[in-house]
Amino acid sequence: MLAEQISSRATGRPHRRRPGHTIRAAITTLLILFLLATPAAAEEPQGPLVLVTSFPPSLFEPFCAAFTARHPGVTILVRSKKTSAALTFIAERPEEPADLIWASAPDAFELLRDAGHLEQAFAALGAATPRFDDYPLDDPLGHYRGFALSGYGLMWNRPYLERLALPPPGTWNELTLPQYAGHVAITAPSRSGTMHLIVESILQSQGWEEGWATLLRLSGNLATITARSFGVPEGVVAGRFGVGATIDFFGLAAKATGAPVDFLYPEETLFLPASIGVVKRCRNRPAALAFVDFLLSAEGQALLCSPPISRLPISPAAYAAAPAGYPNPFRMERKPPSPPFDAGLSRHRYHLVNTLFDTMITYRQQPLRRAWRAVHQVERELLRQGRTDLRRQLERARKLLLQMPVSRDESRSEEMAGVFQRRSPGMTLSSPQNILEEQWRDFAAANIDLARLILTELLDSLGAAKP
C-alpha cells in the first residue's frame, strides 16, 4: 500500500490497483502485523543440564534419551543420590552445579523450598492447586511440579512364599506376625525418602504410639535393613528374602518385565505426588524448564506407563493408553487415608523420626530379633501348656520392647524436632542432639536387656530351650 501511494504521487495519476495485487498486498500486510504482534520463538535449549535424582537408571535413562532426541543440543548429566543425600548435596554444596531435583518424597521438596533452595519457576496456584486425596499435586507456591503419583506397599517373591507355605501379606500389621520372622526387608528411612514416607504414613495413620509399636514388632521379623531403597526390590526379585516394603513402581516394573513377584497396595494406601523442581542455583534454566515440560507432556506421561518404568501418570488422560490391568489410582476402589497425610508434619520432624528409627531399630537389629523370637516362643509355650499364670510377665516384657523415649507431643514440638539434623560424613552434630541420642541408646539397651531377662526366666519356668 505504501508503494502504491509513492507511485501515484510520482506520476501525478491515480494508480489503478489490480485485483490480485490488492489481495496479495493485504495478505502481506496482515502477515507483517501478525509477526510484529507475535513474540519471537523460544530459543532451543542448549548445553549441559545437571539432574539430581533419587530414581534408578531404569527410570531416568529412558526419559533422558527421549528428551535429548527432541533437544539434541542438551547434554544431561545425572547426579544419582538417595533422597537424604540429595538434600545435603543441594543445601550444603552450593559450588556444585545442580539444575533440577527429581524425586518421590514430597516432604523433601518442602524442606528445600522452605530453606530457599528452589526457584519459584512455576505459577503459584494457591487454593486452585489440583489435589488427590486432598493432597496438592503441585506446590501451591509454584516451586515444584508433580509429574507422577507414588503409591507405597508390599512386594513379595511368589516362589519364595510358596516354598515356605507363607501367605502373601495384606497389611503392614500382618508383617508383624511370627510366621514372617526372618523373611522381611526394609530400608532405613534416613537413607531412603521412600521408606521415610512409609514410616511417617504408618505413624500418622495409626497414631504415634501404635505406629511405633507396629514398626518395633516388625523389627523382630527383619531379615535385613538395606542401604538403598532399590536394595529391597532387588533382594525380593533375587529371592534373598520373601517380602519387602517399597514404592509401587519397583514392584510393578519387576512384575511387568517377567520377575516372579507381586505387589499389593495395603488398606488406606497412601498416594503422593513424585515431583520435580528447579534448583535456585540453576545454570541452564531454558533446558530445565523444557525438561519439566517434557515430563508433563502427553509423550512424557505415556512413557511413564512403559513396563520398565511402570509409574502412575499424574494426568488421568494418560491411563487410556496404559496396558490392560494397569493400576489407575483415579479409578481405584480403595479407602483413602484418614486423616489425610500431613506433609508439613512430616517435614517438621523429618530428621527426628529418622534418627529415632535408626537409634531404636536400625542399630538394634540383632538384639531386637533375639528378643522378639523369645516373645514368640514364650507365646507358643504358654498356649501349648495352657499356662495363664505367666501371661502378665510376658506382657511386661512386650511392653518394654514397645516403649519409645519420645512422646507424640514432643515429636510435634519445635523444641524437640528443631534439635535434629541429618548425619553426614565430617559434620559435627549439636550438643543437644548428641545428648538426646545417647539417652535414647541407653533407654533402648536397658529396655531390651530387661525384657530379655524376663523372657529367659519365663522360658526356664516353662522348661523350654532358649532361642
Task: Quick: pLDDT tens for 312-335.
Answer: 999 999 999 999 999 999 998 887
DSSP 227: S
- Would the pLDDT of 275 be above 90? yes
Q: Pick the range with the lowest mean pLDDT from 39-48, 64-73, 362-371.
A: 39-48
Confidence of residue 425 (pLDDT cuts 50, 70, 90): low
Range of lowest pLDDT (166-175, 263-272, 347-356) = 263-272
Residue 235 near residue 184, CB atoms below 8 Å: no
- For the packed helices 193-206 and 350-360, what is the interaxial angle rounded to 10 degrees? 90
Average pLDDT across the chain, whole number: 89
Q: Flag whether the pTM goes above 0.75.
A: yes
Residue 237 neighbours by CB under 8 Å, 6+ apart: 157, 254, 259, 261
Confidence of residue 467 (pLDDT cuts 50, 70, 90): low
Residue 29, pLDDT score: 38
Residue 146 is placed in which grid cell?
Answer: 508433580
Question: What pLDDT does residue 21 have?
Answer: 43
Among candidate residues 176, 152, 169, 365, the one with its CA nearest the CA of residue 245: 152
Q: Please name the residue that has the C-alpha cell 519356668.
A: 461
What percent of the chain lies above the pLDDT cut of 90?
78
Q: Please choose, from the candidates 134, 154, 88, 91, the residue with its C-alpha nearest in 3D space to the C-alpha of residue 273.
A: 134
CA distance 212 to 307: 35
pLDDT band at 228 (very low <50, low <70, confident <90, very high): confident
pLDDT for the residue 42: 55
Write the DSSP symbol of residue 424: -
Q: What is the mean pLDDT of residues 343-357?
A: 93
Residue 247 or residue 228, greater confidence: 247
d(CA 231, CA 150): 18
For the 47-150+273-321 domain, the top CATH level (class) is: alpha beta
Domain ranges in the chain are: 2-37, 47-150+273-321, 360-467
CA-nearest of 276, 350, 340 to 104 is: 276
Task: Please report, as a single letter, which amino acid is at residue 410.
Answer: E
Stretch among 12-21, 31-40, 373-382 having the lowest mean pLDDT: 31-40
SS3 of residue 428 by DSSP: coil
Q: What is the pLDDT of residues 122-161, one digit of tens each?
A: 999 999 999 998 899 999 999 999 999 999 999 999 999 9
